[in-house]
Structure 1
Amino acid sequence: MSSQVRLKLLPSARCLFDEPVQVKVAGLRSRQVVTMRARSTDERGMVFSSSATYKADGSGEIHLDRDPSLSGSYIGVEPMGLLWSMKADRLHKRFQKNNSLNPHVVKFSVEEGEGRTLAEETNERLLIRDGVGRIPVKEGNVRGVLFTPPGDGPFPAVLDLYTFGGGLSEKRASLLANKGFVVLTVALYGHDDMPKDIKEIHLDYFEEAIEFLRKHDKVGGKGIGIISLSKSGDLALSAATYLSGVEATVWINGHSANTIFPLYYKKSLLHPALLFDTGRIIPSESGASIGKYAMNNPLLEENKASLIPIEKAKGPFLFLSSEEDMNWDSKTCMDMMVERLKHHGKDNFESMCYPRAGHYLEPPYGPYCPSSFHGLWGQRIQWGGEARSHAAAEVHMWKKIQEFFRTNLSCDEEINNNSFASS
C-alpha cells in the first residue's frame, strides 16, 4: 500500500448499520484515476462486493458525497453507493445478516492499475448499539428475541414480524431498539423448539406476544405497534383488526387478504387462505421467475372470505408498497385497502408507493437483492426494482416508519425526551 494515500471513513469507521458514512480519499496524484472497492461476507460465508471508478480532483482527493463514479457498480454521485450496490459472488443470493451480535464488516479499498492496493479501511456497521439489551424469549408459546433501550423507560413497544419462514431475523428489531423502542421479534416456525413447518396459523400466538410486550416493565402506553413485511403483512392486518392493544401498524409490500395458510383464532377459522397458481409464475432467462401474477384474485366471489376487514381496526395504518414488486402485486393490494377504508369512511391511514423499488424494503445501506430462492414459491424469484431507486426508497421508508411510530404510539413520557429519538 502507498504510505501517502489515505482512506477515511467519517465521522467514524465504527457506526450503526443504518447510518451513512462519508468516504474520502486523500494523497492521490492530481486527476489520478483509481478504483474504489467494497467487500463483505454475510452470515453464510457468501461474499458480496462492489467497485466504482473515480478521478481525483486537482488536490488529489476524492469525496464520495461530491464526486461522481465514472463506471462500475453504479454511475454518478452516490455517497453510499459502494454499500447498496454490493452483489454476491453467486447469482440469486440474498444478503443474510440476522444475528444482531454480528456486525456488518465492510472492507473499503483504493486500487490502481492491475489491482495494486493504495489504501484500505474497515467499516464496522453495528446492528446493536452499546447499552441496548438483547434477551432471548421463550415464554409460553412465544419464541423470539426482545430488545430494550437502556434506562427505565417507559418506552413505546413494537412487535416485529420480519420473518415468516424458518429461523429468526434480529436486524430490523435491534435497529429500532437503537432508536428508543422496546422491540420483540418473533418466529412462527423452524426456530428453537418450534415445528419445522406449519399448515395453519393461529392468531392467538400474536395475541400472546402482544400481551408479553405490554406487560414488560419498560413499556409504556396503552398498546403496541406492529411492523411487517411480505406474508407477515396480512398477519399484521389481522392482528390490528381482531386483537386489542394494537395502536399502530406498518404494512410493507404485503397482501390485502389472508394468504397461503388458513388463519384461526380461539380454535375457530377466521379466514381461509388465498392461494396461488404456480402456472402463473413467469420464467425468465435470468433463472429467476416472476411471481407477481401468481396469487388468486381476492375480489372474486370464491375468494372474498380471505379478505381482512381492516375497517374494524382502531389504530392507524402505514401502507408502504413498491411499484416494481415482482414477488406479488403489493401496489394493487395497497390500493385495494385504501379504497376499502375510504368506502367505510375511514381516514386512519397513510400510504406511499416507491417507484422502481422492489419487494424487500429493509433498513437502509444493505446490499440490494434482485433475486433469490423463495421458500413458498419453491423456486428462485425476482424481487424487482432497480438498485439505486430501491436504496433511496429504503432511506426514506426507514425514517417514515420511525416518525409514524413516534407519532402514534402513546407513552407516559415523550420518546423525544429520550436521547435515542434523534440518534
Structure 2
Amino acid sequence: MSSQVRLRLLPSARCLFDEPVQVKVSGLRSRQLVSMRARSTDDKGVLFRSSATYRADGSGEVDLRRDSSLRGSYVGMEPMGLLRSLRADALHKKFYKSDARNPHVVKFSVHEEEEEEEGEGRTLAEETNERLLMGEGVSRIPVRDGNIRGVLFTPPGAGPFPAVLDLYTFGGGLSERRACLLANRGFVVLTVALYGHDDLPKKIREIHLDYFEEAIQFLKKQAKVGSKGVGVISLSKSGDLALSIASYLPDVGATVWINGCSANVAFPLYYKKSQILPALMADISKVVPTESGAFNCKYAMQNPLAEENRATLIPIQQAEARFLFVAAEDDLNWDSKAYMDEMVERLRHHGKENFESVCYPGSGHYLEPPYGPYCPSSFHGVLGKPVLWGGEPRSHSAAEVHLWKKIQDFFRTHLTCDAAAAKAKL
C-alpha cells in the first residue's frame, strides 16, 4: 500500500446499518485514475463485491459525494453506490443478513488503475466499515412464549416507546434486521416467525390469526411499551397478513403494507378454529421464464376481483387502524400497484380516510431499510425457483432511503405513547 494515500470513512468507520458514510481518498496524484472497491461476506458466507473507477481532482482527492464513477458496477454520482451495488459472483443471490448481533462489515479499498484497463492494480489504501444492526444499549431477547417464536428488541432508556410487530416477509426462518433497526430509532419491536424457526414446523398448510393476536398481547405487556395501539409492518406475503390483523383483531393502531396483496394469498386463514378467508392462488402457467434463469411472476396471481375469487379479499374497510400503503411500480413479484389502487378505491367507496399511500417508480419488490445491497433476483421459497424482483438499482435505493424515514414518521404519528400506562407495568 502507498504510505501517502489515505482512505477515510466519515464521520466514522463505525456506524449504524441505515446510516450513510462519506468515502474520501486523499494523497493521490493530480487527475490519477483509481478503482474504488468494496467487499462483504453475508451470514451464509457468500462474498459480495463491487467496484467503480474514479479520477482524482487536481489536488489528488476523490470524494464519492462529489465525484462521478466513470465505469464499473455503476456510472455517475452515487455517494453510497459501492454499498448498493455489492453483488455475488453467482446469479440470483440475495445478501443474507439475519442475526442482528452480526454487523455488516464492508472492506473498502482503493487501487491503481490504467486508463483503458480494469486490471487488479496495486492496493493504495483500505478501510473497514463496521455497519451495526444493533445500536448501543438496544436489548435483544429471543422469545419462546406460549406459541410465539421470535426476537424482541427494546431501545435503551425508560421509555415509554411505541410497539411494533414486524412480520418482515413470509418464509421460513426469521429476519432480525428491520426489527432491530427500528428499535435503534425508539420502537419496541417483536419480529416473529411462522414456520422453519426453532421448534416451529418446517412447512404449513394454513395460517391462524390467533398467533398474531397472541404476539400483540405479548408486546402490549412489555414494561417499556406506552402506545395504546400496536403497529404492524410487513412486506410481500406478510402484507395480506398485516391487513387481516388490522381488519379482524383489536389493539392495532397503525399498519404498514409494503408490496403485498389485497387478498389472502396462498394459505387459508383461520381464527378461533374457523376459516375466515380462503386462499387466492397463483396460475403457474403465467410464470414467465427469462434468459437469466429467473422467472417473472408479476401477473401469475389469479384476479382477486373476479367473482369466483372475491371471497379472498380482506375486509380492510372494517379496520380502525391507520394504513400506509407502499407500492413499487416495477415490482415483478406481483402487481402491487394494482392491489394498492384497488384498496384505496374500496376504502374511499366506504367513506374511509384512514390511509395514505405512496408509489415508487423504478423500484422493485424488496423495499428494505436503506444502504444494503440491491437484489435483482433470488430464490423464491414458495415457487422453488429464482425469480425477478424488479427495480432500477439507483431508483430502488433512493426509494428505500425515502421510505425508511416515512415509516418511522408514520408510526410516531399514529402510535402515541402514554407514560402513565407504561409506568403502571413496572
Count of equivalent residues: 414
Q: Does the 8 Å CA contact 1:163/1:187 hold for their aligned counterparts?
A: no
In 2: Cα distance, 1:359 partner to 1:217 partner: 35
Percent identical: 74
Tell me by how many angstroms 1:165 deviates.
Answer: 1.0
In 2: Cα distance, 1:151 partner to 1:5 partner: 42
| AA of the residue aligned to 2:310 | K
Counterpart selection for 1:338 from 330, 333, 344: 344
User: What is the 5 A alignment of 1:44-63?
Assistant: 44-63=44-63
* 1:121 partner SS: strand
Q: Does 1:313 align with 2:319?
A: yes
| AA of the residue aligned to 1:183 | V
Counterpart selection for 1:149 from 123, 146, 155: 155
Two-structure CA RMSD over aligned residues (Å):
0.9
TM-score (norm 1): 0.97
Q: Write the deviation string for residues 255-308 of structure 1: whole angstroms up to 9, x where unpaired.
A: 000000000000111100000011000011111010011100001111000000
In 2: Cα distance, 1:360 partner to 1:22 partner: 25
Q: Does the 8 Å CA contact 1:31/1:58 hold for their aligned counterparts?
A: yes
* 1:54 partner SS: strand
In 1: Cα distance, 2:59 partner to 2:288 partner: 52
User: What is the 5 A alignment of 1:66-215?
Assistant: 66-113=66-113, 114-215=120-221
Q: Which residue of 2 aligns with 1:421?
A: none
In 2: Cα distance, 1:18 partner to 1:171 partner: 10
In 2: Cα distance, 1:49 partner to 1:221 partner: 42
User: What is the 5 A alignment of 1:171-320?
Assistant: 171-320=177-326
Q: Which residue of 1 aligns with 2:65?
A: 65
| AA of the residue aligned to 1:198 | I
* 2:289 partner SS: coil
In 2: Cα distance, 1:253 partner to 1:144 partner: 23
In 2: Cα distance, 1:277 partner to 1:162 partner: 25
Q: Does 1:399 align with 2:399?
A: no
Q: Which residue of 1 aligns with 2:40?
A: 40
| AA of the residue aligned to 2:402 | H
Tell me by how many angstroms 1:413 deviates.
Answer: 4.7
Q: Which residue of 2 aligns with 1:8?
A: 8
Q: Does 1:323 align with 2:312?
A: no
In 2: Cα distance, 1:115 partner to 1:379 partner: 38
In 1: Cα distance, 2:360 partner to 2:335 partner: 13
In 2: Cα distance, 1:151 partner to 1:16 partner: 18
In 2: Cα distance, 1:361 partner to 1:374 partner: 16
Tell me by how many angstroms 1:151 deviates.
Answer: 1.5
| AA of the residue aligned to 2:163 | A
In 2: Cα distance, 1:329 partner to 1:389 partner: 18
Q: Does 1:352 align with 2:358?
A: yes
Tell me by how many angstroms 1:163 deviates.
Answer: 3.2
| AA of the residue aligned to 2:183 | A
In 1: Cα distance, 2:158 partner to 2:16 partner: 23
| AA of the residue aligned to 1:267 | K
Q: Write the deviation string for residues 365-407 of structure 1: whole angstroms up to 9, x where unpaired.
A: 0000000110111211000011111000000010000000000
In 2: Cα distance, 1:115 partner to 1:166 partner: 42
In the alignment, structure 2 segments of 5+ residues that lack a partner are 114-119, 421-426
Q: Which residue of 1 aligns with 2:116?
A: none
In the alignment, structure 1 segments of 5+ residues that lack a partner are 415-423
| AA of the residue aligned to 2:311 | A
In 1: Cα distance, 2:80 partner to 2:161 partner: 31
List structure 1 segments (4+ residues) > 6 angstroms apart after TM superposition. Answer: none
Q: Does the 8 Å CA contact 2:228/2:418 hold for their aligned counterparts?
A: no
Tell me by how many angstroms 1:153 deviates.
Answer: 1.3
* 1:222 partner SS: coil
